[in-house]
Amino acid sequence: MKFKKLLALSLSAVMAATLLCGCGSSNSTDTAEDATAAEATVSTVNDGVLTMATNAYFPPYEYYEGSDIVGIDAEIAQAIADKLGLELKIEDMEFDSIITAVQTGKADMGLAGMTVTEERLQTINFSDTYATGIQSVIVKEDSDIQTLDDLQGKKIGVQLSTTGDIYATDDYGADNVEQYNKGADAILALTQGKIDAVIIDNQPALSFVDSNEGLRILDTEYVQEEYAACISKDNEALLDAVNGALAELKADGTIQSILDKYIVAE
Ligand code: ARG
């Protein structure tokens, strides 16, 4: 099995320096307790609003509770927006549309359990990472598939344009990969016996297996990944501001407590 390298991102010294300078020249009329200097310097698609693009069918990172989108990413985005003195607005769309929405100024950032990859970095910036993920393989409980090698020649379901899609296509061939718009649609096809396996991130995998009878997760970690917010290459100020907010939210334990709230120890 091919080894997939984890993409390690580090906050560049340049960004840190820019941020510090920003703080130094912070305008003193700003009294909001949580607001940082970033507030005075970032421009967003809609003034005063941080618009987040996501695909809200990815529990526990983003999912619907009634008509509200909740989950890890929604809470982290809210915390970032609070730090920047902005109101948060969440736009739900196909996962495949998120990067384009951010590139074309329909949203300020994508937060969608999105993995940092070399390929995506060609077109979009990523913030510092805030969580890790693992690509998991789900099969039916009574399936004879036990290992990654057993997937050869089987029908594998994935969510369109996700890393699961990219890796499965690379490793098992496009002919063996069925793409679905939502992870849940792939799971449905699996339960109906239309496909043999689903490759998807581990936390949604646990959630789907929990809410659907007769499924199990292979005892193997297909690929390890890091999640980050994607932000347009044209908005470096927002990237710096989001990284600054993330650093503070990591330091004060907010990110960890949000993760702990939604991710139950196995
Ligand atoms: N981590 C994977 C990727 O970046 C899947 C993310 C899917 N996220 C979602 N909200 N549907 O490709």
Q: Is the CB of 163 under 6 A from ligand 1?
A: yes
Q: Is the pLDDT of residue 16 over 60?
A: no
pLDDT, tens digit (0-9, with 9 covering 90-100), for 117-171:
999 999 999 999 999 999 999 999 999 999 999 999 999 999 999 999 999 999 9
Q: Which atom of ligand 1 is nearest to the CA of 54?
A: 10
- Give me the amino acid identity at 123: T
Instruction: Give the tokens for residue 216.
Output: 């199990």
Q: Is the CB of 95 under 6 A from ligand 1?
A: yes
pLDDT at 40: 53
Neighbours of 24 (CB within 10 A): 8
Q: Is the pLDDT of residue 84 over 90?
A: yes
- 3-state DSSP assignment of residue 46: strand
pLDDT, tens digit (0-9, with 9 covering 90-100), for 251-261:
999 999 999 99
Q: Is the pLDDT of residue 50 over 80?
A: yes
Q: How far is the CA of 152 from the centre of ligand 1 (A)?
A: 23
Query: Would you call the peptide bond into 59 cis, given omega within 30 degrees of 0 as the criterion?
Result: no
User: Quick one: average pLDDT of 90-101?
Assistant: 97
Q: Is the pLDDT of residue 216 over 70?
A: yes
DSSP string, 79-136: HHHHHHT-EEEEEE--GGGHHHHHHTTS-SEE-SSPBP-HHHHTTSEE----EEEEEE
> Using CA atoms, how far apart are residues 148 and 222, in angstroms rounded to an integer?
8
Q: Is the CB of 62 under 6 A from ligand 1?
A: yes
Q: Is the pLDDT of residue 58 over 70?
A: yes
Ligand 1 probe mutation, 97, 159, 167, most atoms within 8 A of CB: 159
Specify the pTM. 0.85
Question: Please, which pLDDT band fits residue 86 given cuts at 50, 70 and 90?
Answer: very high
Q: Which atom of ligand 1 is nearest to the CA of 200?
A: 5
The enclosing H or E element of 225 equals strand 223-227
User: Quick one: average pLDDT of 74-99?
Assistant: 98
Helices (H) and strands (E) in the chain, counts: 10, 14
DSSP string, 145-208: --SSGGGTTS-EEEETTSHHHHHHHHHH-GGGEEEESSHHHHHHHHHTTSSSEEEEEHHHHHHH
Ligand 1 probe mutation, 115, 120, 134, 169, most atoms within 8 A of CB: 115
Q: What angle do CA 44, 86, 71 make, to 5 degrees?
A: 100
Q: Is the CB of 133 under 6 A from ligand 1?
A: yes
Q: How far is the CA of 115 from the centre of ligand 1 (A)?
A: 7
Q: How far is the CA of 233 from the centre of ligand 1 (A)?
A: 20
Q: Is the pLDDT of residue 52 over 50?
A: yes
Which residue, among 27, 124, 127, has the nearest Cα to 77 in the 3D structure? 127
Q: Is the CB of 186 under 6 A from ligand 1?
A: no
Q: Which atom of ligand 1 is nearest to the CA of 112?
A: 10
Least confident of 16-30, 51-65, 159-173, 178-192: 16-30
